[in-house]
Amino acid sequence: MTLDRFERQALQRLRRRSERAQIQAWPDPAEKTELVQRAGYARQRALAKLPDYLAMLEQNTAATGITVHWTESAQAANRIAIELIKKAGGRALRNHSPLLDEIAIDRAAIANEVELVRVHPGDQLVQLSGRPLQHPIWPTAHIRIADISSTLQEAWHVPPSVDPDILASTVRNRLRPELLDATTAVVGLNFAVAETGSLICLDNEGHNASLATYARTLICLLSIEQVVADAADLDILIEAFSRSAWGRPLPGFISEIRSPARTPKGEMQAIHLILVDNNRSDALAQGFGEALRCIQCGACHSVCPVFLQVGGAYTQDASTPQPYSGPIGAVLNPILLKSGNAARQPYLSTDCGFCASVCPVAIDLPGLLQRQRQAQSSTASWREKLAFSLWRRLLNQPRLFKAYMRLWRRVRH
Ligand code: SF4
């Protein structure tokens, strides 16, 4: 589904807001450079010894009574999560998490007749509106206030309003009883600390804290590369994430899950940790480990001229869920999905390099995009190869190129 004019303008507004937030968040360029270096090092340190840190994480979480499951694929992760939800009654609440979207757990839930309710207010609105998610951090940035109002009227029979505060309260008031009554929760984690076995979620609404407190069965999912070595690295990464994602030094809520506890109803929790590989080991083996430094802050999306035009729709094929969008999605999707469709995504770039300038963990995104194009070129059809070869020749002959552009402009008009 392509963006309409309003949605494109909304993403442009988001870009300006994000630029202002970046300036506020990083008033001192020297401080920014230092934190980005330290955050990049923290990620690289974890990736360099990933099997060791994962083994340490398993040992330390299992020691506190958390059950650990290793899964190679999205299907395996979904199978375990769905089985646990079924055992716990067939209904669960889920948080806002790129990993849960990557493994398409909502589809798996529908296919297995399990109810999965999104309790992040923005996610809930996106789901009700029937529009696809665009920005990973600001899920409702592209939806008109009037559309939100009519969606809520239709879904929940509430009075119309164009006041954002009233609409936000309507959604929160609707979701609060769900959170207080949670019995089973599925939570995609931001990080896990190998040294302490702590499982970490970040948000500004507090929905993760509620899920972690009230759910009797807590199913946590972690993509394997999001393990961090120790608490010092975690501090650096939380700050880097929060400043880049939300323009503030710390998130509103940092939820730390350390061991099963009693819920407010007095029941003992069962906590499961599902470690998800889903082709990440292949990414490391293929030399794309740098892309796995990503902490999903969404900063590169907000400055990418391609994302601002097409939003999250990095493919027209609705049957293939695209876990990630923006410049990092164009690098990661071909590795994670391994589908011919995703192989074209590294070309969705203008090579302007803005993405690299805002990345808080110093990922060389333009370099990775170039390498990914080379890696994917063997999968191009003969038509694409011919088109690229003609285009290359055209670019090497300025007079011919100008003549071509003149002709193109005429044809367009
Ligand atoms: S690549 Fe960098 S800027 Fe983009 S989402 Fe990942 S961490 Fe953020």
Cα–ligand 1 centroid distance for 131 (angstroms): 24
The token pair that represents 317 in the structure block = 């094929």
- pLDDT category at 1 given cuts 50, 70, 90 is low
Q: Considering only CA atoms, which residue is closest to atom 4 of ligand 1?
A: 300
The listed range with the strongest mean pLDDT (68-77, 161-170, 310-319) is: 68-77
Does residue 315 have a pLDDT over 80? no
295 CA distance to ligand 1 centroid (A)?
Answer: 6
Shortest-distance Cα residue to atom 2 of ligand 1: 359
At 378 the pLDDT is 67
**What pLDDT, in 10s, does the model give residues 101-143?**
999 999 999 999 999 999 999 999 988 988 888 899 998 888 8
**Each residue's pLDDT tens digit, 16-67:** 988 888 888 888 899 999 999 999 999 999 999 999 999 999 999 999 999 9
- Do 247 and 22 form a contact (C-beta atoms < 8 A)? yes
Query: Of 188, 171, 3, 201, whose CA–CA distance to 93 is shortest?
Result: 188
What percent of the chain is predicted at pLDDT more than 70? 96
The binding-site residues of ligand 1, defined as CB within 6 angstroms of any ligand atom, are: 244, 294-300, 328, 358-361, 363, 365
Provide the pLDDT for residue 263.
96
Report the separation in Å between the CA atom of 370 and the middle of ligand 1, taken as the mean of its atom positions: 17
Contact between 252 and 295 under an 8 Å Cβ cutoff? The reply is no
pLDDT digits (tens, 9 = 90+) for 239-281: 999 999 999 999 999 999 999 999 999 999 999 999 999 999 9
Q: Name the residue among 94, 257, 271, 266 with its Cα closest to residue 175.
A: 94
DSSP H/E element including 307: helix 305-310
Single-letter amino acid, residue 108: A
Superfamily of domain 5-279 in the CATH hierarchy:
NagB/RpiA/CoA transferase-like (3.40.50.10420)
CA of 157 to the centre of ligand 1 (A): 39
User: Which one of 36, 332, 359 would you pick to mutate in the ligand 1 pocket, going by the greatest count of ligand atoms within 8 A of its CB?
Assistant: 359
Q: Of ligand 1's atoms, which has the minimum distance to the CA of residue 245?
A: 8
Superfamily of 281-382 according to CATH = Alpha-helical ferredoxin (1.10.1060.10)
Domain ranges across the chain: 5-279, 281-382, 383-413
Q: What is the mean pLDDT of residues 73-99?
A: 97
Contact indicator for 271, 84 with CB cutoff of 8 Å? no
Radius of gyration of the chain (CA): 22
Which residue CA neighbors atom 3 of ligand 1 most closely? 359
- Average pLDDT over the chain reads 91
Mutate to test the pocket of ligand 1, among 19, 37, 290, 361 (most ligand atoms within 8 A of CB): 361
What is the Å distance from ligand 1's center to 246 Cα?
A: 13
396 alpha carbon – ligand 1 mean position (Å): 33
Mutation probe of ligand 1 site: the residue of 324, 358, 363 with most atoms within 8 A of C-beta: 363
Q: Tell me what percent of the chain is helix, strand and coil, each rounded to the nearest 5.
A: 55, 10, 30
User: What is the DSSP code string of 343-388?
Assistant: GGGGGS-----HHHHH-TT---HHHHHHHHHHHHGGG--HHHHHHH
Q: What's the pLDDT at 387?
A: 77
Centroid of ligand 1 to alpha carbon of 294 (angstroms): 5
- Predicted pLDDT of residue 301: 94
Ligand 1 centroid, distance to 298 Cα (angstroms): 6
Residue found by looking up tokens 């300025």 in the block: 398
**Which letter does DSSP use for residue 299 in this model?**
H
Which residue's CA is minimally distant from atom 8 of ligand 1?
Answer: 297
Q: Whose CA is nearest to atom 6 of ligand 1?
A: 294
Band of pLDDT at residue 227, cut at 50, 70 and 90: very high
Q: Is 202's pLDDT higher than 80?
A: yes
> pLDDT at position 323, please?
74
pLDDT of residue 339: 66
Give residue 239's pLDDT. Answer: 96
174: confidence class by pLDDT, cuts 50, 70, 90? very high
Q: Kindly give the distance from the C-alpha atom of residue 296 to the centroid of ligand 1, in angstroms, as a whole number.
A: 5
Pick from 190, 226, 288, 300 the residue to mutate for probing ligand 1's pocket: most ligand atoms within 8 Å of its CB.
300
Q: Which of 168, 171, 190, 96 is CA-nearest to residue 136? A: 96
